[in-house]
Chains A and B, each alone.
Chain A
Amino acid sequence: MIKIENLEKVYRTEEVETKALNKVSLEVNEGEFVAIMGPSGCGKSTLLNILGLLDEPDGGSFKFLGTEIAKFNERNRADLRKRNIGFVFQSFNLIDELTVFENVELPLIYLGVGASERKEKVEKVLEKMQIMHRRNHFPQQLSGGQQQRVAVARAVINNPKLILADEPTGNLDSANGNEVMELLTELNEAGTTVIMVTHSEHDARYAHRVIRLLDGEVVMENVREQFTV
């Protein structure tokens, strides 16, 4: 599903030039659950953002669903993004002015889905995330775990092929964190590809495979079987 080769990303500020990604190559197949780990500042988020088409690489090749998209412009990337990718962030990133229902509904609106279909879909996913009773609440009225469940609901509402999660449990206690991990696992089992950045070895265990980054380079890939021995 995803194949990147020699991907590079360089941040230039007035004084320094940071190589956030240095010739990263990796492949993720459909249906995989991949965790990305590594010390702070090693380029995990940068990689995830590029994989999520939120940012563009400075070099290398990036094939998404078989199409080379390294040179796509923002408009085309946005279109691919909204049809295929769902995002879950550490800080939830819900829109404070919208209710739970409206937050989850938003991607469907941008996809141009009709009202009755939207209602049906949103209710189904809220049901599944066990947050239906909070549908008319605003984000600030929810606990962190609840907010992240809403965020996950929003990420999956349009049945994306790929879910990207950047430290989804980073702001949660272990009980709520586990709940979110269970959700991601369920989604993965239903066929969605999941790529997740995490600092937690515990969370990484849910993944099939762990990719370790150091200073912008892949240093190790290990599958769960080896890892859990």
Chain B
Amino acid sequence: MVMLKNYFKIAVRNLVRHKGYTLINLVGLAVGIACCTLIMLFVQDELNFDKNHRQAANIYRLTIEIMENGRIDKAAVTSPPIAPELKRNFPEIKAVVRFSNNTRNLIRKESTGMYADQGFFVDSTVFRVFTFPLTVGNPRTALVEPHSIVLSQELAKQYFGNANPIGKVLEIELDSIYQVKVTGVLAAIPENSHIRPNYLIPFDLLKNNRNNWWAFGFHSYMLVDDHFNPEKFESKLPAFVKKYMPVPAGSPPPPSLHVQPLLNVHLDNDISSQISPPGDLKYIYLFSVLALFIILLACINFMNLATARSQNRSKEVGVRKVIGATRQQLIGQFLSESILLGVVSLVIAIGLVYFSLPAFNELSGKVIPGQLLKNGPVVVGLSMLTVVVGLAAGLYPAFFLSAFKPIQVLKGQLSTTTKGVVLRKGLVVLQFAISIGLIVGTAVVYNQMEYIQNKRLGFTKEQLISIPLNGQFGVAKANTIKNEFLRLPGVVAGTVANTMPGNRGWWRTIINLAQNPGNNAVGFVFETDFDYFSTMDIQLADGRAFDTKFPKDSTQAVLINEAMVKAFGWTSTKEALEKHLEYNDNGLDFKVVGVVKDFNFQTLHAKVEPAIFAIARNNVGYLVLRISPDQVAQTLSALQQKWNEFDDRHPFEYSFVDENLNNLYQTEMRLGKIFSVFTALAIFIACLGLFGLASFTTEQRTKEIGIRKVLGASVGGIVAMLSKDFLKLVLLANVIAWPLAWYGMNQWLQGFEYRTAISWWIFGLSAFIALLIALFTVSFHAIKAAISNPVNALRSE
């Protein structure tokens, strides 16, 4: 105890006396701990998805697996009849609930109408399975009555202010307009829940596909009893599928059914068609490694500076030993010093975390609440981290310093223990290697993003706007509006389509060769009009585009893309022409009149998939216009005016296709930003260390510098002499970092079907940046020493 007090006292005095040294260590460690804390919060958030549901451990999601174009595709979708039928067949299922895809609907109160996102058609059992507390309303009955709606607090506030919304009537536009009564208000749902509805409407309001066993566009969950065994349950499902979804001989097999625990949903990004975008374990690992790097850098600073400073402390160590301190006691003293530093850093780090949490949320796309100290695991983790960091940083200096023999120390004989110097240099190399690796990583990510933005997609994405039609018009009316729009001066071309790159509404199905269902391919269906290819600027590979000269084109012709030609195994585009295809259950067949060149309608992560194009006959999702680059604002307001003439019920909405496409790369953009922030921090901390180290070496060589100057050395010569050693280390760091960074980033790029090469200039750039920063850091001290009066230097001894 007495000993500890004594350690503490001398530690505090040491820290106060050597302010520069203390500051460098505190800043480095605090930034390191703050980074780790943020990452810990991030990881904790990711790992705790859906734990807000009380029965989470007993909830399973139904998924399917299906063979498509020769590979297995997993998807988190089912058709509507499956879940209820499973419940009837298997007593271990206590309840099931189905969700539609999230929908966007116009909701009106009297004359004001707004589009609301994140709506779901759900079974009334939703409240039995999931824990979605209601602030008002009765969960047992809320969604039983078909003409009812449950709103989020924000929506309720939007429509009713602070008045009690229960029993009030809203008008919602689905396949037609329904009056629905508000029966409940959802309490706030944690951000880390994979389903976060804005409003819920009864499944019974859904008119299409309710009984279609093949309409795989719904998400089903089941609540099971405590004895449920997923493997055993899955083994009974093939028989179920066979019974309820028979397929004629020769046609492709039905999908197989599977179950997945709710708590695994968020981090399983192997499954497509999820209700919300899943997380990615890869990024969790990556961020954790980055945080570790940062803290490692800070620890290295501490170790290096402490050992470099050992000379100044050697007298103290020697005296203590002469007086009777044992090695253990000295180690204890140095460790308590570094742990004290760790604790002070922790306090600063917590401040930093509070301060930077909003920015971090912005960067990571999360909403992590700020009550850090109420977060048990984080508090425990942080305390442990502090001790570990204190130990890691202090252990080497402690052993190093305490190993001195007392007389050696008192004689000043430990100036150049080569082992210490080599280690110190090695650690500096490691620090810079990490920093350089991060510079390369950042450059590659940004380079790839640049590439994606500039890649020719096979259509022209600029100056293209997409106007969602939300199903309120049939094709005919959509075409009338389109023709009106085309008369406006700024509008160059226009078309309609069921889906647009960067938007929603994808329809993927099996396409058969007519009269030959065994010969098929899976592809995306584009339902458009005669102007699609010209408006989008899509090139023809063979045959012809749709043409109004051929009246049969609107009902009996299709075009396909080159990928579809390949999927069918045809050797040339010629071979595809005149083939007859079926893509619907209605038995109609379509003649292939043309083949278009592949264009990227999905993200550049994936190859262009097979696609088929037909003329739309019922509803279309989007009206697409190419506008002239001049006077965009005028054109848009003219469009709005015209729109209101046709439809004063629905607000005019539009988006730019190139922006929508960019939004597909949010994860990567985020990665780029996070990478650059971490890189900046890493470089900052490495430079702090270098700065401190340079100041020590320069200090040690003050006398030498003085003598050299007396003998006639120039300022430039001395700066060069002092900087040279450090620059050599940075160069070595480059050599180590390059191959590792190249390997890592090459792995990352493999995730893109379309990618840039890692070019040499990136390595040149990283070396240049690292050298420049190092030179700048080191030369500060070197110049200071070089321009000072030599007498000062000589007198200092």
Q: Within 8 Å of chain B (Cβ to Cβ): is A26?
A: no
What does the 1/0 interface line of B1-16 toward A look like (CB < 8 Å)? Answer: 0110010011001100
Q: In whole angstroms, how far apart are the Cα atoms of A120 and B405 in the complex?
A: 32
A55-B405, A95-B320 known; A109+B326 contact, CB < 8 A = no
Check A110–B10 contact: CB distance below 8 A.
no
Q: In whole angstroms, how far apart are the Cα atoms of A95 and B315 in the complex?
A: 8
Interfacial residues of chain B within 294-352, with CB under 8 A of chain A in the complex: 315-316, 318-327, 329
Q: Within 8 Å of chain B (Cβ to Cβ): is A107?
A: yes
Across-interface contacts of A106 in B (CB, < 8 A): 6, 320, 323
Check B2–A109 contact: CB distance below 8 A.
yes
Across-interface contacts of A96 in B (CB, < 8 A): 315-316
A98-B10, A102-B9, A115-B2 known; A93+B326 contact, CB < 8 A = no
Within the complex, what minimum Cβ distance (angstroms) separates A86 from chain B? 9
Across-interface contacts of A149 in B (CB, < 8 A): none
Looking at the complex, which of A75-83, A178-186, A191-199, A217-225 is the stretch in contact with chain B? A75-83
A89-B410, A95-B319 known; A111+B405 contact, CB < 8 A = no
Q: In whole angstroms, how far apart are the Cα atoms of A87 and B406 in the complex?
A: 12
- Specify which of A74, A75, A110, A115 lies most central, judged by the most chain B CB atoms within 10 Å of its CB: A110
Across-interface contacts of B2 in A (CB, < 8 A): 109, 115
Other-chain residue from A78, A87, A97 in contact with B326 (beta carbon distance below 8 A): A78
Check B321–A78 contact: CB distance below 8 A.
yes
Across-interface contacts of B407 in A (CB, < 8 A): 49, 54-55
A75-B326, A110-B323 known; A97+B17 contact, CB < 8 A = yes
Interfacial residues of chain A within 40-94, with CB under 8 A of chain B in the complex: 49, 52, 54-55, 74-75, 78, 81-83, 87, 89, 93-94
Within the complex, what minimum Cβ distance (angstroms) separates A97 from chain B? 4
Check A110–B324 contact: CB distance below 8 A.
yes
A55-B405, A109-B3 known; A93+B318 contact, CB < 8 A = yes
- Specify which of B13, B321, B322, B325 lies most central, judged by the most chain A CB atoms within 10 Å of its CB: B322
- Specify which of B17, B321, B324, B405 lies most central, judged by the most chain A CB atoms within 10 Å of its CB: B324
What does the 1/0 interface line of A94-127 toward B look like (CB < 8 Å)? Answer: 1111100010001101110001000000000000
Across-interface contacts of A94 in B (CB, < 8 A): 319
Other-chain residue from A83, A110, A154 in contact with B325 (beta carbon distance below 8 A): A110
Across-interface contacts of A83 in B (CB, < 8 A): 324
Within the complex, what minimum Cβ distance (angstroms) separates A194 from chain B? 17
Q: In whole angstroms, how far apart are the Cα atoms of A96 and B269 in the complex?
A: 61
Across-interface contacts of A52 in B (CB, < 8 A): 322
Within the complex, what minimum Cβ distance (angstroms) separates B458 from chain A? 72
Interface SS of chain B: helix
Within the complex, what minimum Cβ distance (angstroms) separates B298 from chain A? 25
Check A154–B323 contact: CB distance below 8 A.
yes
Q: In whole angstroms, how far apart are the Cα atoms of A97 and B317 in the complex?
A: 12
Check A78–B316 contact: CB distance below 8 A.
no
Give the total number of A-B pairs whose CB atoms are below 8 A apart. Answer: 64
| Residue ID in chain B nearest A56 by CB atoms | B405
Across-interface contacts of B17 in A (CB, < 8 A): 97
A55-B407, A97-B14, A115-B2 known; A107+B323 contact, CB < 8 A = yes
Check A93–B410 contact: CB distance below 8 A.
yes
User: How large, as a class, is the contact surface on chain B?
Assistant: 20 to 34
Within the complex, what minimum Cβ distance (angstroms) separates B383 from chain A? 28
Q: In whole angstroms, how far apart are the Cα atoms of A97 and B6 in the complex?
A: 11
Check B329–A110 contact: CB distance below 8 A.
yes
| Residue ID in chain A nearest B408 by CB atoms | A55
Within the complex, what minimum Cβ distance (angstroms) separates B411 from chain A? 9
Across-interface contacts of A109 in B (CB, < 8 A): 2-3, 6
Within the complex, what minimum Cβ distance (angstroms) separates B325 from chain A? 5
Q: In whole angstroms, how far apart are the Cα atoms of A89 and B412 in the complex?
A: 14
Interfacial residues of chain B within 382-420, with CB under 8 A of chain A in the complex: 405-407, 410
Check B318–A97 contact: CB distance below 8 A.
no
Across-interface contacts of A102 in B (CB, < 8 A): 6, 9
Q: In whole angstroms, how far apart are the Cα atoms of A55 and B325 in the complex?
A: 15
Check B10–A97 contact: CB distance below 8 A.
yes
Q: In whole angstroms, how far apart are the Cα atoms of A93 and B319 in the complex?
A: 6
Interfacial residues of chain B within 1-37, with CB under 8 A of chain A in the complex: 2-3, 6, 9-10, 13-14, 17
Check A111–B326 contact: CB distance below 8 A.
no
Within the complex, what minimum Cβ distance (angstroms) separates B99 from chain A? 67
Interfacial residues of chain A within 166-210, with CB under 8 A of chain B in the complex: none
Across-interface contacts of B321 in A (CB, < 8 A): 78
| Residue ID in chain B nearest A55 by CB atoms | B407
Check A111–B14 contact: CB distance below 8 A.
no
Across-interface contacts of A82 in B (CB, < 8 A): 323-324
Q: In whole angstroms, how far apart are the Cα atoms of A74 and B402 in the complex?
A: 12
Across-interface contacts of A95 in B (CB, < 8 A): 10, 315-316, 319-320
Check A97–B316 contact: CB distance below 8 A.
yes
Across-interface contacts of A55 in B (CB, < 8 A): 405, 407
A55-B405, A89-B410, A115-B2 known; A97+B13 contact, CB < 8 A = yes
Across-interface contacts of A75 in B (CB, < 8 A): 326-327
Q: In whole angstroms, how far apart are the Cα atoms of A178 and B6 in the complex?
A: 34
Across-interface contacts of A89 in B (CB, < 8 A): 410
Within the complex, what minimum Cβ distance (angstroms) separates A46 from chain B? 9
- Specify which of A55, A89, A106 lies most central, judged by the most chain B CB atoms within 10 Å of its CB: A106
Q: In whole angstroms, how far apart are the Cα atoms of A10 and B400 in the complex?
A: 25
Within the complex, what minimum Cβ distance (angstroms) separates B332 from chain A? 12
A110-B329, A115-B2 known; A93+B324 contact, CB < 8 A = no
Q: In whole angstroms, how far apart are the Cα atoms of A96 and B313 in the complex?
A: 10
Across-interface contacts of A154 in B (CB, < 8 A): 323
Within the complex, what minimum Cβ distance (angstroms) separates A47 from chain B? 12
Q: In whole angstroms, how far apart are the Cα atoms of A97 and B9 in the complex?
A: 9
Across-interface contacts of B405 in A (CB, < 8 A): 54-55, 74
A55-B405, A55-B407, A109-B3 known; A93+B10 contact, CB < 8 A = no
Check B10–A87 contact: CB distance below 8 A.
no
Q: In whole angstroms, how far apart are the Cα atoms of A81 and B406 in the complex?
A: 12
Across-interface contacts of B329 in A (CB, < 8 A): 110
A93-B410, A94-B319 known; A107+B324 contact, CB < 8 A = yes
Within the complex, what minimum Cβ distance (angstroms) separates A163 from chain B? 13
Q: In whole angstroms, how far apart are the Cα atoms of A111 and B329 in the complex?
A: 12
Across-interface contacts of B3 in A (CB, < 8 A): 109
| Residue ID in chain B nearest A97 by CB atoms | B13
Q: In whole angstroms, how far apart are the Cα atoms of A52 and B405 in the complex?
A: 13
| Residue ID in chain A nearest B326 by CB atoms | A78
Within the complex, what minimum Cβ distance (angstroms) separates B410 from chain A? 7
Across-interface contacts of B325 in A (CB, < 8 A): 78, 110
Across-interface contacts of B324 in A (CB, < 8 A): 78, 81-83, 107, 110-111
Check B319–A54 contact: CB distance below 8 A.
no
Within the complex, what minimum Cβ distance (angstroms) separates A50 from chain B? 10
Across-interface contacts of A81 in B (CB, < 8 A): 322, 324
Q: In whole angstroms, how far apart are the Cα atoms of A163 and B62 in the complex?
A: 86
Across-interface contacts of A78 in B (CB, < 8 A): 321, 324-326
Q: In whole angstroms, how far apart are the Cα atoms of A219 and B325 in the complex?
A: 36
| Residue ID in chain B nearest A138 by CB atoms | B13
Within the complex, what minimum Cβ distance (angstroms) separates B10 from chain A? 5
| Residue ID in chain A nearest B321 by CB atoms | A78
Check B9–A87 contact: CB distance below 8 A.
no
What does the 1/0 interface line of B429-448 toward A look like (CB < 8 Å)? Answer: 00000000000000000000
Across-interface contacts of B410 in A (CB, < 8 A): 89, 93
Q: In whole angstroms, how far apart are the Cα atoms of A78 and B407 in the complex?
A: 13
A54-B406, A55-B405, A95-B316 known; A87+B6 contact, CB < 8 A = no
Give chain B's interface residues, CB within 8 Å of chain A.
2-3, 6, 9-10, 13-14, 17, 315-316, 318-327, 329, 405-407, 410
Interface pairs A-B: 5 shortest CB-CB: A82-B324, A110-B324, A97-B13, A107-B323, A54-B407
Jot down 11 A-B pairs with beta carbons below 8 A, ordered by A: A54-B406, A78-B326, A87-B322, A89-B410, A97-B10, A98-B9, A98-B13, A106-B6, A107-B324, A110-B320, A110-B325
Known: A55-B407, A95-B315. 12 other contacts (CB 8 A): A54-B406, A78-B321, A83-B324, A87-B323, A97-B17, A98-B9, A98-B10, A98-B13, A106-B6, A106-B323, A109-B6, A110-B326
